[in-house]
Structures are given as C-alpha cells and as structure tokens.
C-alpha cells in the first residue's frame, strides 16, 4: 500500500514539475509579446517608461507608420515584404516538390551525391556568402532587385525542405504509382494528381517555411536593398531605432506587432495540415 502511495506521490511531483516548466516557458514566450504590444500603445518614443499596460494608450504610433513622413515608408515596406514572401512561398513549393519527387521516385546517376550535397549546403550559413552575393548583384546590376532576393531565398529553401518532402514522398506506397502507370498515367500526371494531393500536410510545412523566412531576414536583404522605397520590414524597422535624429522605439514596437498579422493568417489557413505535417516529418522517412 505504501509503495502504491509512493508511486502516486512521484507521479504527482512529476506532473507539478511538468506544468511548472510549461508555465515558465509560456511566461518566457508570452511576456515579451505582451510587453511589445503595450509598448506600441504607449505615448512617447522611449521604452524606459513603458509598462505592460499603458496608462494613456494611443494608436498614434500605428497611424504614424502609414503617414509616409520623411523616410518612413512603412506601407511600401509592408507590401515589399509580402510580395517577396508570397513569391518565395510559391516558387519554393514548385521547385522543392519537383526536386523531392525526382529524388524519391527516380534512380539516376549522381542521386546519392546530390542528396549529400543538399545535406552539406543546409549546414552552411547563408550569410557566409554575403560578399559573393553582393559582388554578383553589382555585376548584374541587380542591387535593389526584389527578384534576385526572391531567387536567393528560394535557393536557400530547397536543401532542407527537399529532405523533409522527400521523406514524406518515400512513405507513399509505390503501388499507387504502378497502378496509375498501368492505367496509362504519365509521371507528370502521377505527380500532380496522386503524389501532391497526398502530401498536403508536408506541403503546408514547406509553404509556411517559405513565407516566414523572408519576413525575418535582415542580413541578406540589407546587403542587396539600399534605397528606402525598396526596403523590407526588417530593414525599415531597424532604421527606426538606429536613426540618431529620431529613433522611435515605440513606433518600432507597433511595426513589429503588425509583422505578425500575415504570419498568423497564413498559419491559421494552414494550421490543420501544418500540425499534421510536422508530426509526419518526425515519424516518416
């Protein structure tokens, strides 16, 4: 009897510790977000007097973002970031799905070496090639080019996402392909009408990765984009807090909060497939 009671006490202790750890993680994650939201409604430009709940809340920082005063082109930066993110997401889905399907379903010379190359490429930080990318952009006259930025983002998405999607394609039985070929279906039709519909969970993961990546990038975009009207949100917001003549940290907080809106909308749209895709990616290979 005492042994059973001891086991129950141990289980209760583990449960309390687990919930305590989860609560700590929630506080660590949620508190900075709530504090940033509070700062975005706080009057003034300094964060020194900012509190979690502003005493005199104002939406002035949000209206200032879209007033296009001086060198502040927040609306344009927002559109630039959305354009780059959407095109990166679409092109990543196209190229990653085709690449993953090729590695999963076909056997060709250099296949194994190609997979190893992808593995090596995803281990190399993208910023290590910043100088080479800048020189290339200058030679081609593509400074301030969103298209070059999109192509680089897409290229960076291919290695890791190809591994994820290939593992999922490998879990789809080859019998489906063979049955479709007996009925006269081509590889293209099998890919579009059988493989892709069955892979929607992992495609949602690839789409989410492709959309959120450009929204959080600063290093690469700051090298290629030099004119304020071509800035993306990370560069523009950085300029708000580094401008010695008018650094506005509360306006920066408002701009940072607005960045999360498209990410949240995309996540809500893909949530069902996104969660199942992450789970599948961890169990199938």
d(CA 74, CA 231): 9
For residue range 115-137, list pLDDT tens digits in order.
888 777 777 777 777 888 888 88
For residue range 251-280, list pLDDT tens digits in order.
888 888 888 889 888 888 887 776 555 555
- The mean pLDDT value of the chain amounts to 82
Q: Contact 249/46 with Cβ under 8 angstroms?
A: yes
Q: Mean pLDDT over residues 181-200, rounded? A: 88
Q: Is the dihedral of CA 108, 163, 208, 196 positive or negative?
A: positive
Q: Which of 207, 248, 215 is nearest to 80 (CA)?
A: 215
The two structure tokens encoding residue 143: 């400074």
The helix or strand, by DSSP H or E, that contains position 119, with its residue range, turns out to be: helix 111-121
Taken as a whole, the chain contains a residue count of 285
Q: Which of 222, 209, 174 is nearest to 194 (CA)?
A: 174
* Whether pLDDT at 227 is above 90: no
* Whether pLDDT at 1 is above 60: no
d(CA 206, CA 204): 5
Give the chain's domains with CATH numbers: 70-283 (1.10.3720.10)
């Amino acid at each position: 009897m005492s042994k059973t009671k001891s086991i129950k006490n141990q289980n209760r202790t583990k449960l309390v510790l687990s919930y305590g750890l989860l609560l700590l993680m929630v506080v660590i994650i949620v508190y900075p977000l709530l504090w940033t939201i509070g700062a975005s409604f706080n009057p003034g430009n300094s964060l020194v007097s900012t509190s979690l709940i502003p005493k005199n809340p104002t939406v002035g920082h949000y209206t200032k973002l879209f007033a296009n005063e001086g060198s502040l082109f927040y609306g344009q930066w927002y559109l630039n970031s959305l354009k780059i993110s959407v095109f990166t997401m679409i092109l990543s889905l196209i190229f990653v799905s085709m690449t993953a399907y090729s590695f999963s379903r076909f056997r060709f010379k250099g296949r194994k070496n190609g997979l190893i190359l992808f593995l090596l490429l995803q281990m190399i930080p993208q910023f290590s090639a910043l100088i080479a990318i800048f020189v290339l952009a200058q030679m081609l006259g593509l400074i301030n080019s969103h298209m070059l930025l999109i192509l680089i983002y897409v290229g960076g998405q291919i290695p890791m996402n190809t591994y994820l999607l290939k593992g999922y394609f490998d879990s789809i039985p080859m019998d489906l392909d063979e049955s479709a070929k007996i009925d006269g279906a081509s590889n293209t039709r099998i890919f579009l009408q059988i493989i892709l519909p069955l892979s929607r969970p992992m495609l949602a993961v690839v789409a989410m990765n492709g959309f959120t990546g450009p929204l959080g990038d600063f290093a690469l975009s700051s090298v290629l984009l030099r004119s304020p009207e071509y800035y993306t949100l990370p560069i523009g917001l950085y300029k708000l807090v580094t401008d010695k003549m008018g650094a506005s940290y509360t306006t920066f907080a408002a701009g940072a909060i607005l960045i999360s809106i498209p990410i949240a909308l995309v996540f809500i749209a893909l949530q069902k497939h996104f969660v199942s895709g992450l789970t599948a990616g961890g169990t199938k290979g």
